[in-house]
């Protein structure tokens, strides 16, 4: 990591595949700065006093993209990254090609695809309970979330990633995979 001036790692992956866990690991170990595509949506929902649910974030994302441009969230993230003085930046929640359009212009940007089996992702989603209704979700509801418009391009974008991590094992295995990727920048 010492040889490169700045590293920007973007994570694409299905719901509860391990993107946030990977980012948290990099924040703790390498003091990376963190951006998440859902943060502007959460901020707006909070301002409007609307519950932060996956459904509400998906509706708001669709509304913003239809009315202001497909890459509105990408513009927000890219501008924040551009102004960021951290040497190491991680970006969570890339879902669409529009999300990486501006980021790819930065030679320090590298895309990582994290994937996991749907049964395991469902269990992780229930356990973490990130959104208000996650802990009560049935497997059928989770599969429905997994097939929403916001999730459609994830696998396609993932195929363009420089690195792919199959995250069906332990934290230690995930961290080892991340360290192997970090070594490529040393």
Q: pLDDT of 78-102, one tens digit each?
A: 999 999 999 999 999 999 999 999 9
In a domain, 17, yes or no: yes
In a domain, 151, yes or no: yes
Please tell me the distance from the alpha carbon of residue 4 to that of residue 7, in angstroms, as a whole number.
7
In a domain, 96, yes or no: yes
Number of Cβ within a 10 Å radius of residue 171: 11
Domain residue limits at 108: 7-37+71-183
In a domain, 94, yes or no: yes
In a domain, 83, yes or no: yes
In a domain, 120, yes or no: yes
**Per-residue pLDDT reduced to its tens digit, 45-74:** 999 999 998 889 989 999 999 999 999 999
Task: Identify the CATH number of the domain in which residue 25 sits.
Answer: 3.40.50.300
In a domain, 66, yes or no: no
**Res 165: pLDDT:** 98
Would you place residue 159 in the very low, low, confident or very high pLDDT band (cuts 50, 70, 90)? very high
Q: H/E element holding 6?
A: none
Degrees, nearest 5: CA angle 62-101-72: 35
Q: In what order do the strands lie in the sheet with 7-13?
A: 33-36, 88-94, 7-13, 109-115, 163-166
**Res 4: pLDDT:** 55
Q: 90 has which bridge partners?
A: 9, 34
Give residues with Cβ within 8 angstroms of 59, minimum separation 6: none
- The pTM of this model reads 0.87
Please tell me the distance from the alpha carbon of residue 167 to that of residue 165, in angstroms, as a whole number.
6
**Res 5: pLDDT:** 80
**Res 147: pLDDT:** 83
Number of Cβ within a 10 Å radius of residue 36: 18
In a domain, 100, yes or no: yes
- Per the structure, the count of domains in the chain is 1
**Res 148: pLDDT:** 77
């Amino acid at each position: 990591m010492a040889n490169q001036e700045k590293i920007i790692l973007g994570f694409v992956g299905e719901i509860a595949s391990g993107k946030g866990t990977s980012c948290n690991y990099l924040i703790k170990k390498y003091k990376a700065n963190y951006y998440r595509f859902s943060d502007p949506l959460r901020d707006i929902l909070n301002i409007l006093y609307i519950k932060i649910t996956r459904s509400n974030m998906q509706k708001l994302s669709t509304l913003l993209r239809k009315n202001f441009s497909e890459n509105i969230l990408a513009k927000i993230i890219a501008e924040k990254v551009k102004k960021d003085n951290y040497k190491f930046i991680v970006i969570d929640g890339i879902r669409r090609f529009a999300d990486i359009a501006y980021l790819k212009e930065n030679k320090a940007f590298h895309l990582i695809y994290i994937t996991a089996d749907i049964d395991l992702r469902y269990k992780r989603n229930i356990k973490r309970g990130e959104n208000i209704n996650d802990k009560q979700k049935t497997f059928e509801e989770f599969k429905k979330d997994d097939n929403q418009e916001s999730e459609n391009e994830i696998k396609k974008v993932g195929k363009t990633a420089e690195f792919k991590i199959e995250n069906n094992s332990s934290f230690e295995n995930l961290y080892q995979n991340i360290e192997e990727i970090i070594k490529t920048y040393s």
